[in-house]
């Protein structure tokens, strides 16, 4: 069903089953009485010259230019580090886990505002600048405020999976190179916000380097934006699922929120000029239109968003071996929160919010908890009267059945069928949508949504 037809219905589908029936169906699907391998996760198609050559002729020049830009910046990233290491033996920085990395990144933005004018903040900002990649972004899973980068030190740690096997969906195109610039795990957007806050509290002379680094970071964002408005997880491109339009961990949403604030002249960006704000607004609008096009339509109704979408078709795409094309409750919640933050939402944005809220309400699970089972099975979904709501991380498009993946690429409809390592090492359920559902009624009253 075309998106225009779905918009005509304002995101509303046919009446669904009752709340108790929905809960029973979802609970049975989640812990299931008849689970089986329901599919094999396919690899995502990277953005290549071959794929671009199959596009309509008028679209090809912009995509070819994008790919050439990515290739050129990747070469600069690689050559710069190689040149440094030919004269240096600096050790890599301390690796943080993804969770630790996000804590460290968010800590950068949780200080009292007066702190960003202190010498401590300025030393941290100087350190952040040293870890900016030659292409203009930042890596993930380390603390860039901890120390200044030494010549030859990696801009980011080795991002290659420890579980790589033959034909792995996460296998890099070049085993000798690990990508560095990324929007994943709050990278790049966090460093830019931090630099903006410090620069806003410094005079023109003292803040020159921070402002220059910030502008380079904005240029990186603009360079990374696809011709269709989306952003990949990694830039310069690294192949595989990293090339997809990425909502996972709020990667693209974080970029859109940053551009929204730059365009609005938020206090930490007030030192930017009108031309900077207009450019951010234009890039943000292009990104927003791409985001809306990625919303999945099921039987004429707007629903949620996937974690990744193919860069050319914008259809849901896979990521790692255990992350299949599906609707994603957590990423949908982050997108809805962003859309509800827009001061003057268009009719299309309102329809997208309403459709997603309707879908999130329909897939909520009550009286359950995601916890470690007492019988030694590890983390699982258990009956817990009064608890919830919770949502499966992945829901099958069209049925809303909970899906679970494993490192061997098998897709299951029962959590207890996947390996203990994946069952206990991944957030298969979450409550992120609860906050946006709680805020939706007030937003709806303010914007006359139905």
pLDDT digits (tens, 9 = 90+) for 325-343: 999 999 999 999 999 999 9
Closest CA to 133 of 221, 242, 255, 229: 221
Question: How many domains does the structure of the chain reveal?
Answer: 2
Integer CA distances (angstroms), 416 to 111, 364, 408, 412, in order = 42, 21, 15, 9
117 and 189, same domain (yes or no): yes
- 293 near 247, Cβ under 8 Å? no
Residues 222-245: b if buried by 16+ CB within 10 A, e if exposed: ebbbbbbbbbbbbbbbbbbbbbbb
Find out whether 130 and 148 touch, Cβ atoms under 8 Å.
Answer: yes
Backbone angles phi, psi at 296, to 5 degrees: -85, 130
Does residue 352 form part of some domain?
yes
Q: Which of 22, 74, 149, 320 is catalytic?
A: 320
CATH number of the domain at 69, please. 1.50.10.20
Is 46 domain-assigned?
A: no
Residue 398 lies in a domain: yes
Q: Are 115 and 238 found together in one domain?
A: yes
431 falls within a domain: yes
Neighbours of 166 (CB within 10 A): 5
- Residue 96 confidence class, pLDDT cut points 50, 70, 90: low
Contact in structure between 440 and 364 (CB atoms under 8 Å): no
Active site residue 320: yes
pLDDT for position 165? 78
Q: Within this chain, do residues 17 and 55 fall inside the same structural domain, yes or no?
A: no
Q: Which of 159, 185, 248, 254 is catalytic?
A: 185
- 185 catalytic per annotation: yes
**Is 361 domain-assigned?**
yes
The pLDDT tens digits for 212-234 are 999 999 999 999 999 999 999 99
Residues 23, 96 within the same domain: no
- pLDDT, residue 22, reads 47
Q: Residue 149 corresponds to which tokens in the numbers above?
A: 């980068």
Task: Output the pLDDT for position 15.
Answer: 37
- Which residues neighbour 397 within 8 Å (Cβ) at sequence distance 6 or greater? 296, 298, 303, 316, 325, 326, 327
Mean pLDDT across 427-432 = 96
> Looking at the structure, do residues 167 and 55 belong to the same domain, yes or no?
yes
343 and 234 housed in the same domain: no
Q: Are 130 and 22 members of one domain? A: no
- 34 has a pLDDT exceeding 50: no
Instruction: Say if residue 16 is in the same domain as residue 126.
Output: no
Q: How many CB atoms lie within 10 A of CB 397?
A: 18
**Cis-peptide into 389, omega within 30 deg:** yes
In this prediction the pTM is: 0.90
d(CA 64, CA 324): 28
Question: Of 245, 272, 299, which residue constitutes the final position of a domain?
Answer: 272
Q: Are residues 114 and 173 in the same domain?
A: yes
| Own/partner pairs, 437-442, CB within 8 angstroms, 24+ separation | 437/357, 437/360, 437/361, 437/364, 439/337, 439/340, 440/336, 440/340, 440/353, 440/357
Q: Which domain holds residue 26?
A: 3-41+321-447
Tell me, yes or no, whether 261 and 325 share the same domain. Answer: no
pLDDT class of 361 with cuts at 50, 70, 90? very high
Residue that finishes a domain, picked among 248, 272, 296: 272
Q: What are phi and psi of 39, to 5 degrees?
A: 170, 175
At 93 the pLDDT is: 54
């Amino acid at each position: 069903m075309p998106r225009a037809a779905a918009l005509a219905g304002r995101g509303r589908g046919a009446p669904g089953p009752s709340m108790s029936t929905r809960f029973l169906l979802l609970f049975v699907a989640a812990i299931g009485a008849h689970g089986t391998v329901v599919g094999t996760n396919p690899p995502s198609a990277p953005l290549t010259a071959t794929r671009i050559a199959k596009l309509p002729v008028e679209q090809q020049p912009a995509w070819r230019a994008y790919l050439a830009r990515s290739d050129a910046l990747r070469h600069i990233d690689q050559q710069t580090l190689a040149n440094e290491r030919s004269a240096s033996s600096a050790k890599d920085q301390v690796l943080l886990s993804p969770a630790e990395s996000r804590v460290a990144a968010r800590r950068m933005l949780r200080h009292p505002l007066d702190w960003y004018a202190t010498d401590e903040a300025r030393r941290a900002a100087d350190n952040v600048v040293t870890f900016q990649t030659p292409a203009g972004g930042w890596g993930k899973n380390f603390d860039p405020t901890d120390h200044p980068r030494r010549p030859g030190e990696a801009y980011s740690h080795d991002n290659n999976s420890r579980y790589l096997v033959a034909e792995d969906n996460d296998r890099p195109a070049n085993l000798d190179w690990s990508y560095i610039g990324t929007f994943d795990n709050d990278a790049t957007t966090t460093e830019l916000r931090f630099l903006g806050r410090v620069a806003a509290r410094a005079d023109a002379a003292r803040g020159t380097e921070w402002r220059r680094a910030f502008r380079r970071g904005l240029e990186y964002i603009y360079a990374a934006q696809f011709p269709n408005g989306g952003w990949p997880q990694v830039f310069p491109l690294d192949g595989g699922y990293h090339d997809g339009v990425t909502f996972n961990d709020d990667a693209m949403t974080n970029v859109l929120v940053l551009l929204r604030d730059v365009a609005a002249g938020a206090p930490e960006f007030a030192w930017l000029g009108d031309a900077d704000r207009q450019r951010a607004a234009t890039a943000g609008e292009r990104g927003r239109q791409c985001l809306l096009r990625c919303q999945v339509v099921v039987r004429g109704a707007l629903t949620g968003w996937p974690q990744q979408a193919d860069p050319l078709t914008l259809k849901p795409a896979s990521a790692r071996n255990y992350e299949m094309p599906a609707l994603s409750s957590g990423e949908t919640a982050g997108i809805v929160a962003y859309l509800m933050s827009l001061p003057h939402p268009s009719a299309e944005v309102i329809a997208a919010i309403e459709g997603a809220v309707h879908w999130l309400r329909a897939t909520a699970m009550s009286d359950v908890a995601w916890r470690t089972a007492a019988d030694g099975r590890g983390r699982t979904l258990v009956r817990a009267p009064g608890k919830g709501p919770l949502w499966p991380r992945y829901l099958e498009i069209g049925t809303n059945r909970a899906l679970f993946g494993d490192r061997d690429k098998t897709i299951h409809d029962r959590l207890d069928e996947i390996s203990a390592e994946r069952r206990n090492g991944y957030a298969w359920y979450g409550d992120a949508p609860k906050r946006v559902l709680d805020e939706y009624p007030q937003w709806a009253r303010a914007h006359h949504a139905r």
